[in-house]
Amino acid sequence: MIDRRPAPIKGRGTPENPEGRFESRRVQAVDDGWWREEEIRAPATTVRAEIARRVITRNDSPDLYFKQSINPYRGCEHGCVYCYARPNHAYVNLSPGLDFETQLFFKPNAAERLRAELSRRGYLPELIQLGASTDPYQPIERELCVTRSILEVLLEFRHPVSIVTKGHLVLRDRDLLGELARERLCRVMVSITTLDDALKRGLEPRTPSPAARLKTIEGLAQAGVPVGVLAAPMIPALNDHELERILEAAANAGADMASYVVLRLPYEVKGLFESWLRTHVPLRAEHVLSRVRALRGGALNDSTFGARFEGEGVEARLLARRFEVACRRYGLGQRASESLNVAAFRVPPAGGQMTLPM
């Protein structure tokens, strides 16, 4: 029997491009006797502008420590195969598979819209999470600078912001982050999934190396920016044994807070991740999937509030206990307890120039 899974593409998280869940048609490969294996060329990344009417997204999830977020980009070139944001590409009639990491969108007017929303009468300052879905410091940020433009506005308004990223490009913005930090207006969480370079290359092909991310933590800490580590996602029987090592390495690099998230596989991500397992670690695939199900009440995903980030059952409780013990051992605080300053918020005068105190 011929294995119809497409061959891996170097530098991409998945070679598959299944239709989004809203599509009415499905394409299925059929062997008509004429099929022959052909080399798949790595697709180039395309970037398109997406003019935003609003940039601040609000949520009422009891699981999240923030109510407001901004995503400068749709899609992510990092190509993390497990990314829970992949299903969002279905909303623009693109695949959560290869399309998600090759067909990207950016918001060229993000800073303009943010300035207007923060200036609106009656706006009450509350923490903004930058990059709640896709990484604000993915490779295209180097040229487009959308994230930097947003930080410039937040600094202008003295507005608190929290950032989660895998990208070492965040160090470019130490000048802005340092100014924000001096007024307790920012924190950065650097996401580290594994310290194993080989596993990183498979799971997250276009992300910085584990060593580079530790250097990012070190550089932010030296700049006086509050920085922590997000050990995520923890994948049973694949990288969960690294939890303590990740926290220790991050603490040694200068992190003073930590968090973790258990693997989430919403919608189309389930099929993509299972296919990745069977391609990259075929002998362990069934074991990993069975352990994931043990964390999710027998399913591959559970979106229930209170369980979706940490899982349930004995294994989830053990992971939580290991995390707590390791945080105490390495002097890492909990991110949720880190409060930022909302009292500094101010709307600058029209024209953007603040008056100097006499």
The terminus-to-terminus CA distance of the chain in angstroms comes to 81
In this predicted structure, what is the pLDDT of residue 68? 97
Q: CATH code at 289?
A: 3.80.30.30
| Residue 128 included in any domain | yes
Mean pLDDT for the stretch of residues 86-106 = 97
109 within a domain of the structure (yes/no) = yes
In a domain, 245, yes or no: yes
> Distance between CA 167 and CA 270 in Å, rounded?
25
Residue 40 within a domain: no
More confident residue, 35 or 109: 109
Range among 2-11, 191-200, 337-346 rated most confident: 191-200
Averaged pLDDT score across all residues of the chain? 92
Is position 27 within any domain?
Answer: no
Is residue 195 assigned to a domain? yes
Instruction: Encode pLDDT of 208-266 as tens digits.
Output: 999 999 999 999 999 999 999 999 999 999 999 999 999 999 999 999 999 999 999 99
pLDDT bracket for residue 146 (50, 70, 90): very high
Which parts of 183-237 fold into alpha helices (H)?
197-203, 210-222
Domain count, the chain: 1
Confidence class for position 313, pLDDT limits 50, 70, 90: very high
Q: Is 36 part of any domain?
A: no
Three-state SS at 56: coil
309: containing domain: 46-337
Q: Can you tell me the distance from the alpha carbon of 219 to that of 236, in angstroms, rounded to the nearest whole number?
A: 31
pLDDT of residue 356: 46
The confidence score (pLDDT) of residue 337 equals: 44
Least confident of 31-35, 239-243, 302-306, 319-323: 31-35
Cα–Cα distance, 50 to 73 (Å, whole number): 9
Tens digit of each residue's pLDDT (9 = 90 or more) over 109-118: 999 999 999 9
